[in-house]
Every structure is written in C-alpha cells, then in structure tokens.
Chain A
C-alpha cells in the first residue's frame, strides 16, 4: 500500500520556467511533509518542509503548498535552474510515528538550458 505517491516519474522544464512537482498521500495521520532532492549514489538533501497547520511555506526559490482536504502537496521551483536537475522525493511523517518517514517513489526533474 503506497501511502505517499508521486505519479509523475519525470518532468522536463526549461531554465527560468517554473517546475511543479506533485505528491499525494492517503494516510490522514500524516502531519509533517518534507521534500528532498537526491543525486545518484548520494543521500537525500533536505529542501523544505511544511507542517499540517500551514498551507504554504517558502524558502527562496522553493515553495511548498499543502491542500489537506485533497491530501495533496506540491513543490514549486521558480525560476528553475539546470543545477536543480535531480530526483525529488516527497516524504511524510505522523507525530505518532516518531521519526519514521514514508517516501514517495520520486520524480526525476530535468532542467534544460
């Protein structure tokens, strides 16, 4: 049972444009959501997070939106840069689950010059 889903395995965007990565979840106990960026053979790098008490969080070029009623979150990258090319993972956790993160399957973002 995939509790966190990233339905787009890949996304191609031109440099300077907006990248929108989507994530859906099924477990209503999830109350903390994170996005990680990952390069091959490296560990995930934390990008941005959002608590379920918020619907938006911004950090520089990265903004995460949370729609609790739809159980959907998205990561916006504006403007996209070639260095953003990587696999992006959405992850979720529940306060009752201590530090267990449940990850989506990832979306490979390619930003072309």
Chain B
C-alpha cells in the first residue's frame, strides 16, 4: 500500500506570495492532518480534516487554510507569505474508523523557503 504522498517536495517563494501544498493520504484513510516543523517551534499542529470538514485547528493565523476533497486528498494554502513561514510542512493520515486512539502516518513533507 502506498504511503502518504506530498507535492511538491520543495518550493521557493517570495514574501507576499501565496502557496498551495497537496497531500494524498494512504488509501482508505479518511482523516488528514497538517503540521509545521521549524527549528524554533518544533512540530506544531495546523489543522485536521475529515469528510471534507475541518474538525480541529491549531494556533495559526487565518493566512493558513486548508480543504479536503471527496477522495480524502487535502490541500493547504498559505497566503501573504512571511519569512517565518519557511518550514517543513508535513501531512499525516489516519484511518479514523471510529477509534480515536489512532496512529497517524506522515508523508515526506514539503520544504518551503520564503525569500
């Protein structure tokens, strides 16, 4: 079974631009979560989607948004990029078969550099 895939793997943008990152979960997984990893803040939860609905959101500004499609694929968007948005953005998926104690499986991440 293929793992979580994320595209693109690397991205360079300039301040003020916007960016869209894509995530395809493991086949059959219905929940998709996004995390940001930076050297200063570590791994931080952005948001989680299930059945095309955002169920949970971390403490990030409204410039960070996302969505999920009917096939469980997800995208996240960052508008008006700032230098501090440079990070590794990780997507994780889980089965969400009703058991809330579920393991999340991560993709390889998208490395975003904002200049």
Residues of A within 8 A of B (CB): 31-32, 34, 36, 41-46, 49, 51, 89, 91, 93, 95, 97-106
B interface secondary structure, majority = strand
Any A CB within 8 A of the CB of B28:
no
A102 and chain B: residue at smallest CB distance: B45
Q: Give the Cβ gap from B41 to chain A, nearest Cβ, in Å.
A: 9
Distance of A49 Cα from B6 Cα, bound (Å): 24
Number of interface residues of B (CB under 8 A): 30
A95 touches B101 (CB 8 A): yes
Given B4, B44, B102, B111, which contacts A99 in the complex, CB threshold below 8 Å?
B102
Q: Which of B48-76 contact A (CB under 8 A)?
A: 48, 50, 55-56, 58
Distance of A68 Cα from B108 Cα, bound (Å): 32
- In the bound complex, residues from chain B placing their C-beta under 8 Å from that of A98 are 31, 48, 50, 55-56, 100
B106 touches A100 (CB 8 A): no
B42 touches A106 (CB 8 A): yes
A101 touches B45 (CB 8 A): yes
A99 touches B48 (CB 8 A): yes
- In the bound complex, residues from chain A placing their C-beta under 8 Å from that of B31 are 98-99
